[in-house]
């Protein structure tokens, strides 16, 4: 028993038996089946909505990321439901989650964006030096 939880704490690492990965006993949560069914219903009803919201928020040059970001939004919705929090309006909730996922992508892309620079071109080197100087 744990001091915080009233249920016994389950191991989080699965064991291997004869090279096959096995789940620890009791690793499936009680509400997983109901959450899975709820999410499947939401996906059937609101799948196109999530992709439209993501598609409207991304830049034109990033339209190839729409499916990936929509999938990330569904993953965030899944995690939210597994945490046991209630959702009053699934449509509004999924739209907000999709927008937040796009914003988070651009927030991290601002730091991680890579650019190819031709070091033979003096103007390109000057622009790169100015950008590095502004960031530092």
**Residues 128 and 117: beta-carbon distance below 8 Å:** yes
Q: What is the pTM of this model?
A: 0.61
Tokens 């960031």 found at:
135
Tokens 């249920």 found at:
7
**Counts of helices then strands in the chain (DSSP H, E):** 4, 2
Q: What is the mean pLDDT of residues 106-132?
A: 75
Q: What is the mean pLDDT of residues 109-123?
A: 69
Q: Rounded to 10 degrees, what is the CA torsion of 74, 77, 81, 82?
A: 70
Q: Rounded to 10 degrees, what is the CA torsion of 24, 26, 27, 31?
A: 170
pLDDT per position as a tens digit, 72-109: 999 999 999 988 888 999 999 999 999 999 999 988 87
With a pLDDT cut of 90, the percent of the chain lying above it is 40
């Amino acid at each position: 028993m744990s001091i915080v939880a009233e249920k016994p704490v389950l191991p989080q690492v699965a064991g291997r038996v004869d090279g096959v990965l096995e789940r620890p006993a009791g690793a499936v949560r009680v509400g997983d089946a109901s959450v899975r069914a709820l999410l499947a219903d939401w996906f059937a009803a609101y799948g196109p909505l999530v992709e439209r919201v993501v598609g409207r928020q991304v830049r034109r040059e990033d339209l190839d990321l729409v499916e990936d970001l929509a999938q990330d939004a569904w993953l965030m919705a899944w995690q939210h439901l597994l945490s046991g929090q209630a959702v009053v309006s699934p449509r509004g909730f999924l739209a907000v989650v999709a927008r937040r996922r796009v914003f988070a992508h651009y927030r991290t892309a601002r730091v991680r964006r890579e650019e190819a620079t031709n070091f033979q071109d003096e103007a390109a080197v000057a622009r790169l030096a100015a950008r590095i100087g502004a960031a530092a």
